[in-house]
Amino acid sequence: MGIVYSASVGLEKLLLRAFAEEWTVVGKENVPPEGRLIVVPNHVSNADPSMVATALPRPIKFLAKDSLFAHPISRWFFNAYGAYPVKRGSIDVGAYRWARKLLEADKALVLFPEGKRGVNGLGPGLPGVTRLALATGASLLPVGVTGTEKLGPTYRVFYPTGRITVTIGKPFKLPASDGPPGKESVAQFTEQIMRSIAELLPPSYRGIYADPIAEVD
């Protein structure tokens, strides 16, 4: 665990205790203390990575949009914090290799499966998380975050107010397969991942996953 990461997490805890009307973390006992782990939270605010890092009792690393690394100071900070830039809207081979290498070293990685903030609730999951989990055999840890959408600008991470809750679900693994998974299997597994997140959220946050899967007779 790096000094910048440890200091940032410690400072954020102090700020949450000082300014938040209520800060609640549920399910810390569900976090595996070791081994390959992909943490999959919903995403409603730029403050979510900080809130997830503060809630988990295990150091984590991130994939973050490359625009955050544009300025030398922010690039230094995010690199020291444990983030790696990823190009959105295209297949970033370098980011995928970095993530896979990290997981193969039995580390924990945070990936927001929506790929962007869901301002209208939980949006469709992207297949990249599923493919990475299948390729590495990593466990998946669903996380539900509420209250951060009211923080507004990024700087409000230093003045977090309101009621913020981080709910950590139980880890699970996708079934191993002998060969590369087909498109239909990837879609089904991605649906499973997103449903596991939706179960941790109030109805108003579930977005397109608000309705249960229709049963077929």
Q: Which helix (H) or strand (E) holds 85?
A: strand 83-86
The two three-digit tokens of residue 140, written as one number: 């998946």
Query: In this predicted model, what pLDDT tens digit does every residue of 165-208 receive, in sequence order?
Result: 999 999 999 998 777 778 899 999 999 999 999 999 999 999 99
pLDDT at position 59 = 95
Half-sphere exposure of 208 (CA within 13 A, CB side): 8
Q: Is 209:195 a contact under the CB 8 Å cutoff?
A: yes
Distance CA 63, CA 96 (A): 9
pLDDT at position 215 = 43
Distance CA 124, CA 152 (A): 23
Task: Reply yes or no on domain 3-209 having CATH 3.40.50.720.
Answer: no
**Closest Cα partner for 140 from 181, 86, 200?**
200
Higher pLDDT, 47 or 1: 47
Query: In this predicted model, what pLDDT tens digit does every residue of 107-118 receive, in sequence order?
Result: 999 999 998 888
Contacts of 105 (CB under 8 A, 6+ apart): none
pLDDT at position 217 = 36
Distance CA 139, CA 137 (A): 7
CA torsion sign for 118, 121, 124, 128 is positive
Q: Please measure the distance between the N-terminal and C-terminal CA atoms of the chain and give it in whole angstroms.
A: 51
In the chain, the largest separation of any two C-alpha atoms, in whole Å, equals 58
pLDDT band of 216, cuts 50, 70, 90: very low
* Residue written as token pair 């879609």: 187
- Beta strand 37-41 with 163-168 is unpaired
Query: In this predicted model, what pLDDT tens digit does every residue of 13-60 receive, in sequence order?
Result: 999 999 999 999 999 999 999 999 999 999 999 899 999 999 999 999
The residue ranges of every structural domain in the chain are 3-209
